[in-house]
Amino acid sequence: MALLDYFLRKKEKQVTTASKAKERLQIIVAHERNNRNKQPDYLPQLTEDILVVLRKYIHVSDESFSINLDNKDGDLNVLELNIELHDEQKTN
Amino acid sequence: MARIIVVTSGKGGVGKTTSSAAIGLGLALKGHKVVLIDFDIGLRNLDLIMGCERRVVYDFVNVINGEATLNQALIKDKRVSSLSILPASQTRDKDALNKENVGKVLEELGKTYDYIICDSPAGIEAGAMMALYYADEAIVTTNPEVSSVRDSDRILGMLASRSRRAELGLEPIKEHLLLTRYSPKRVEEGEMLSVEDVEDILSIPLLGVIPESQAVLKASNAGEPVILDTESDAGKAYQDVVDRLLGETVEFRFLTAEKKGIFSRMFGG
């Protein structure tokens, strides 16, 4: 029967389990890598909202403002906000 | 400066300790001063693979706690004098290690040794993070199998974000792919991910491919790292890995199945 298997196997080659494995891995790994680096969905909206509030009181240009969400040691999320104040505002 | 190399994987049972032992011994045989550290606190096993389990008196945690000096805890290999083993403790809790005290031990070892090989525990918990934290290089041990490849990718993420090098913004850890338990025959039959498949997915440079081999079990039975079995495919493949780590260009072998004669093909076997 080994002879028969030998010829049959050639035909089956198109969808091997190894190629299925590769395809599944490529999808899941890409997905997980994406999550690893991704900022949460709400971050752009949060940024907008914070800027609106800030601009009620002080002048903040887009360049002097940055927001960053960082994950420290796996269990601590740190929201970091950097606002560069201009000289006249500091003295107020 | 000592090269600190972590042997890691995420998934358990893929050959981290076998690889640590073989590579450590291989580097020592080349005349380098090597220390092998077992980071698997609670589940000591490197000593068994190295065949020095009956010579363990003090361990890593004893050193950390100041109950023994480093020299008291280090076990000199009986085969190669330039190789030492720092065993893990069996009973202490995992939280015994922290960045500060591990850093001190590594710094001390760095004064004497050329290579510090850190055999990581499985998982992505504190122990595994501690093993990779100070690494300059990482040997990501992977089986050609879905769960192992996925876990290796998670570990690559950790290497890039949770190591000392990442935290200080230094040059990233140099990553190496070590594919173990490779069966060229099954790859050819479409039943196993190929070297190229795994390289495609993980996209890190290939350090070595260790073929599935009965020599590995025999080696661990005897407590003689498989690299000493110079007749075996696995032993030869580990030797190639050592040469590559030392900067040599060595062609990859054992990537194709042995060709069978027409008779065995027709009649099975």
pLDDT of B102 above 80: yes
β-pairing, A76-83 vs B174-182, is: unpaired
Asked whether the beta carbons of residue A26 and residue B189 sit closer than 8 angstroms, the reply is: no
- Residue B77 CA to residue B205 CA, distance in Å, equals 31
Task: Give the per-residue pLDDT at A73.
Answer: 60
Name the minimum distance, in Å, from the CA of B74 to any CA of chain A.
31
- Looking at every residue in chain B, the average pLDDT score rounds to 94
Task: Give the per-residue pLDDT at A74.
Answer: 61
- What are the pLDDT digits (tens) for A76-92? 778 888 888 876 655 44
Task: Give the per-residue pLDDT at B269.
Answer: 47
Instruction: State the complex-level ipTM.
Output: 0.84
When pLDDT is cut at 50, 70 and 90, the band that residue B112 belongs to is very high
Asked whether the beta carbons of residue A6 and residue B265 sit closer than 8 angstroms, the reply is: yes
Mean pLDDT, rounded, for B17-43: 96
Burial B166-197 (b: 16+ CB within 10 A, else e): eeeeeeebbbbbbbbbbbbebbebbebbbbeb
pLDDT of B261 above 60: yes
Burial B95-111 (b: 16+ CB within 10 A, else e): ebbeeebbeebbeebbe
Worst-scoring range by mean pLDDT, A10-19, B56-65, B183-192? A10-19
Higher pLDDT, A1 or B58: B58
Tokens of B51: 């065949």
Q: How many CB pairs under 8 A join A and B?
A: 59
- What are the pLDDT digits (tens) for B227-258? 999 999 999 999 999 999 999 999 999 999 87
Give me the helix-helix angle, A17-37 and B146-161, nearest 10°. 20
Mean pLDDT, rounded, for B187-209: 96
- Residue B29 CA to residue B159 CA, distance in Å, equals 29
Tokens of B168: 């200080």
Task: Give the per-residue pLDDT at B213.
Answer: 95
- Residue B130 CA to residue B237 CA, distance in Å, equals 29
Contact between residue B79 and residue B228 where contact means Cβ atoms under 8 Å apart: yes
Nearest-by-CA chain B residue for A74: B162
- Residue B27 CA to residue B108 CA, distance in Å, equals 20
Helix, strand, coil share of chain B (percent; to 5) = 45, 15, 40
- What are the pLDDT digits (tens) for B138-147? 999 999 999 9
Nearest-by-CA chain B residue for A17: B191
Phi/psi for B118 (5° steps) reads -105, 110
Task: Give the per-residue pLDDT at B79.
Answer: 96
Distances (CA, A) of A60 to A51, A54, A68, B157, B208: 8, 7, 17, 35, 54
Residues in contact with A27: Cβ distance below 8 Å, sequence separation at least 6, in sequence order: none
Higher pLDDT, B18 or A35: B18
Worst-scoring range by mean pLDDT, A38-47, A56-65, B185-194? A38-47
What are the helix (H) ranges across B88-232?
99-110, 126-133, 146-161, 164-167, 184-188, 195-202, 214-222
Mean pLDDT, rounded, for B185-201: 96
Mean pLDDT, rounded, for B62-71: 94
The shortest CB-CB distance from B146 to any of A2, A21, A33 is to: A21
Asked whether the beta carbons of residue A32 and residue B154 sit closer than 8 angstroms, the reply is: yes
Mean pLDDT, rounded, for B78-105: 90
Contact between residue B117 and residue B5 where contact means Cβ atoms under 8 Å apart: yes
Chain B hits for A12, Cβ within 8 Å:
190
Nearest-by-CA chain A residue for B193: A18
- What are the pLDDT digits (tens) for A20-47? 999 999 999 998 888 777 666 777 788 8
Asked whether the beta carbons of residue A29 and residue B187 sit closer than 8 angstroms, the reply is: no
Residues in a beta bridge with B75 = B85
- C-beta atoms surrounding B255 within 10 Å: 16
Asked whether the beta carbons of residue A28 and residue B150 sit closer than 8 angstroms, the reply is: yes
Asked whether the beta carbons of residue B149 and residue A29 sit closer than 8 angstroms, the reply is: yes
Contact between residue B142 and residue B16 where contact means Cβ atoms under 8 Å apart: no
- What are the pLDDT digits (tens) for B143-173? 999 999 999 999 999 999 999 999 999 999 9
Phi-psi region of B249 (alpha: psi -120 to 50; beta: other; left: phi over 0): beta
Nearest-by-CA chain B residue for A8: B189
Q: How far is CA B253 from the centre of its chain?
A: 20
